[in-house]
Amino acid sequence: AQKITQTQPGMFVQEKEAVTLDCTYDTSDPSYGLFWYKQPSSGEMIFLIYQGSYDQQNATEGRYSLNFQKARKSANLVISASQLGDSAMYFCAMRPVYGQNFVFGPGTRLSVLP
Amino acid sequence: KAGVTQTPRYLIKTRGQQVTLSCSPISGHRSVSWYQQTPGQGLQFLFEYFSETQRNKGNFPGRFSGRQFSNSRSEMNVSTLELGDSALYLCASSLEDSINQPQHFGDGTRLSIL
């Protein structure tokens, strides 16, 4: 069965510094997609970035980048130049092969300090 | 392009009642998933519908049910409400059944049981 692990329940980072949120996954499928979502205190889930299992390069989207290490089954999110508005819950998720539902990790609460 | 729309945004019910939540996916999206989120529990997968068929189901009692209509709109029903059903219920839709398609979430329905 697929599983996502996020070992950091909470993280603190100083404004303007970079932070890495950890995500490891477990799957026996050869193809899968990995996603990161942000959930501010208001509750909406915002899609941030995607990494495909066969992608050769790490995904980047603005200040977000993914440190994808397939052999280690890890897909860590890197946020550069943190802003106060980055304070939120962050969820790592995996989409397995056809017909299976998304699997979400337990989340990491990030707090950006001024 | 309109996003995922969930109605109502807030709902207050009492124990024993039943409730129906509605979700309109992004136009063209055929997959709709429902999640329950309680403080400290992360996202718990309820079920997924694809082309009017329930394709996947999470580990919830039979009081939780859903359906999807031909226009991909989905409803979720909870009967005989319990205090523990108080939660944020999130609906998400995705375009295709492909590993590179993210789920896009609605703003959720906050259900409170008195």
Whether B18 and chain A come into contact, CB under 8 Å, resolves to no
Please report residues of A whose CB lies closer than 8 A to that of B43: 91, 104
Confidence of residue B95 (pLDDT cuts 50, 70, 90): confident
Amino acid at B38: T
**How many other β-carbons are positioned within 10 Å of the β-carbon of residue B60?**
16
pLDDT digits 0-9 by tens, B18-54? 999 999 999 999 999 999 999 877 899 999 999 899 9
pLDDT digits 0-9 by tens, A17-56? 999 999 999 998 889 999 999 999 988 999 999 999 999 8
Residue A39 pLDDT: 95
Q: How many Å lie between the alpha carbon of B9 and the closest alpha carbon of chain A? A: 11
From residue A104, alpha-carbon distances to A36, A92, B2, B20, B28 in Å are 9, 6, 25, 25, 24
Q: Which 3 state secondary structure label does DSSP give B83?
A: helix
Confidence of residue A100 (pLDDT cuts 50, 70, 90): confident
Whether A6 and chain B come into contact, CB under 8 Å, resolves to no
Whether A99 and chain B come into contact, CB under 8 Å, resolves to yes
Residue B52 pLDDT: 93
CA B60-B63-B68 angle, to 5 degrees, is: 85
Interface contact A91-B42, CB threshold 8 A: yes
Residue A58 pLDDT: 94
Residue B1 pLDDT: 63
Interface contact B103-A47, CB threshold 8 A: yes
Q: Which residue of A has its CA nearest to B41?
A: A106
Whether B62 and chain A come into contact, CB under 8 Å, resolves to no
Residues forming a β-bridge with A112: A13
At residue B13, does pLDDT exceed 80?
Answer: yes
Please report residues of B whose CB lies closer than 8 A to that of A101: 33, 45, 48, 55-56, 58
Q: What is the DSSP string of B17-29?
A: --EEEEEEPPTT-
Interface contact B43-A104, CB threshold 8 A: yes
Let me know how long chain B is. Answer: 114
pLDDT digits 0-9 by tens, A65-98? 999 999 999 999 999 999 999 999 999 999 987 6
